[in-house]
Structure 1
Amino acid sequence: MASSSPHVSTARHPLRVPGQRANGAAVVAAALGLPRRDARVALRAHARRIEAAAWAAVEPRTSSGGGRRKRGEAALCAAAGQVAGRSAGVGRSVGTEVALATMAVVAMGTGNRVLYKLALVPLRQYPFFLAQFATFGYVVVYFSILYLRYQAGTVTDEMLSLPQKPFILVGLLEALAAAAGMASGAVLSGASIPILSQTYLVFQLLLSAIFLKRRYRVNEITGCFLVTVGVVITVASGSGAGASLQSTGILWPLLMILSFFLQAADTVLKEIIFIDAAKNLKGGSVDLFVVNSYGSAYQAIFMCLLLPFLSKLWGIPFHLLPTYIRDGAACFLNMGSLSSGCDGAPLLPLLFVLVNMGFNISLLHLLKISSAVVSCLASTFSVPLSIYAFTLPLPYIGVASTLPPGFVAGAVVLIAGLLMYSLPQPQNCGKTLDKRND
């Protein structure tokens, strides 16, 4: 068994802890005359070579290599434990890391929904400006962070040289999803959109089963179904969402569903990127900001190409778009003669952009350490919490909302679905490795 292997002690007591990594880099730099960044890169490369050796030991699948394969599995488990120890801290289990990442997604997702509503109080005439400011602002911020992490040695040349086609596809999917969501969101009621968004979870399950060859247990499928029902009950009760959907016809709801399909495909593609990167880097892990930066850059490029179409959707003639952007910037900065009625700017829009960025990063981190479906469930849990948050006396909102009649019942069903999905199951590292190597 893997637990009896002497390599397991390496996972429980990592050779490098955060306090030792900088000292090790300093020693290497002094001994070899290398710059500090090159020394850190050398240390990380040495760790990746150890992990690569473990992966190489797992490759044989013949019966004659059974003993070697078992030793390789133990070594790879130890390497995986060492990586987890470096990223999550000594003594922290993977389950604890997933739980903490899930709580971060729920908290950030709730704040993201609430602050988006607050940000639109001063920018109620310029929602398209806010969307474009966030899209192009993220490119600057993400690449700035990526540069700092590259200088620190966290991001390597191997990560930056990963194939670009998947990132281009990520940018295209995100741009098309935004375009479809903007087009249908301008017509559909606010209550109907969260209901239609529950198709996102269904698409996650289907796409994961098709492209990731993932098989779900009965309790997981039942749990996802209960989560969807719980959100629908929570949002739909007393909102008249059903009548609203009937009044808008079939085209706009279908376009919104297409938007969520594209988002689900984007999330599954990112999970595939992480899996493929682990193979290309020989057991290493691509940094989150490589995925975020490249994906955001290509999304911004496709959004530029779609600007004539998107501006028309928002009722802004394309030749007047520069004037609209200028006026939106003046309201955002709360400066000039156009700042009347922009109370709350720039604080509220900036808070939304920062929290939205934190939400995207935490969601991608959870996706990296778990799966697309788990990240979707965590994000979904923020829906009832944000509904409850709007019943509180928030600034700039005015009269607080009242809870829908079915809020408690829907929340109970949703939580029951999460618990159903999370029922523990025995895991074996060897079986996991077999699955990843298929």
Structure 2
Amino acid sequence: MTAFLASSTLRYRGPLSALAREDVRRLLDRATGSDARVALRVREIIARVRAEGDQALFELARQFDRVELTALEVPREVCAAALAGLEPSVRDALARAARNIALAHAPQKPQWVEVETEPGVLVGRRPDPLGRVGVYAPGGRAVYPSSVLMGVVPAKVAGVGEVIVCSPPGPDGLPHPSVLAAASLAGADRVFSLGGAGAVAAMAHGTESVPRVDRIVGPGNAYVAEAKLQVVGAVAIEAPAGPSEILVVADDTANPAAVAREMLAQAEHDPEAACVTLALGDALADAIAAEVERQAERAKRWEIVTSALGSRGAVLTVASLEEAWPFVADFAPEHLLIATASPREDLGQVRNAGTVFLGERSSVAYGDYMTGSNHVLPTAGLARAYSGLNLLDFYRWTTYQRVAPTAAASLAEDVGRLADSEGLFAHADAARAWGRP
């Protein structure tokens, strides 16, 4: 039995248990896939940037951004002026967000560890901050200075040697002033007027002006996402990314209007956003669905909201919270909101989620901007294996080992036997040499 349509707004409304297999698959399989045309175009752009360097970047800006750039790098004083010119209340809010991001990420610093696995055998692991990181900041339908903070501030807390920001130029040849302001506030070392796949290619491979980075982080459109996937191998990325998503688990203590607000807040990001609620009982589900309908009608980004809800919007009824948790694990949402009587206790039921919001007052919007938790999160069910951007993303590990003379003599024969069994006789000789008197 297929879940029935509640309205022209939501795609699915009905019992979770009655959802047809193909509908469950549609909700769970949210990978956007790689459009062949996008993939081909991105491949061409990357090859062009690798071959032509800065010249290709100037031509790409002319072609895609419709601007004649005279320089790729934005002077520091321009970024500082953008910060100084920001409306004071917005500047204060950005500063508050940056402070909280730093406070939330600082305790994540990894520790240098050593262990003696047996007498005379020391094995160590040392965390080393990356040398250079690139942060991509979108500049299309919406501008996200908050994403600049989410990338730059943790990198600086980790002690990354150099942090660069790339963002598309506007008509004046510069990224949006709020992006420049956020980069200055967060302490970015260099900023470039570069957008799209060209920016990713430049950061991954380097050009005359743009330094090659060790890792690229930050959200972007389909071309940016595809470019990040194509340069893996030359550079690390934080995780594959797709449209925004939320899953709400609500019991009869939840406020239907609050749940609906959270669904719309994610729906306004992207026509492909996934917004699902599992509601305990028909009465609550009906009330939430009605609120979604009412709020969608007056949404300022109405076309985007209704497109998202009509494609991947659902309010599904569960008979018990125990029925909800297996679906949560399979869905593995970017954002999980637990709107129940005991959200802290229910957190113990959660395994797969980008980040979890405990209680309906813990709005996802707070996490997006101000709590200090990182909002760069895995989507499309990848929270089964990936975590949100965190301090560990800005380190690599150096492992080392020391074998004392007595330990070498003790290890020699067993290592030799294992090497012989694998047909690696030079390994066996190297090991046994230190076991001889």
TM range (shorter): under 0.3
Greater length-normalized contact order (CA 8 Å, ≥ 6 residues apart) = 1
Which is higher, the Rg of structure 1 or of structure 2?
A: 2
Richer in strand (by share): 2
Richer in helix (by share): 1
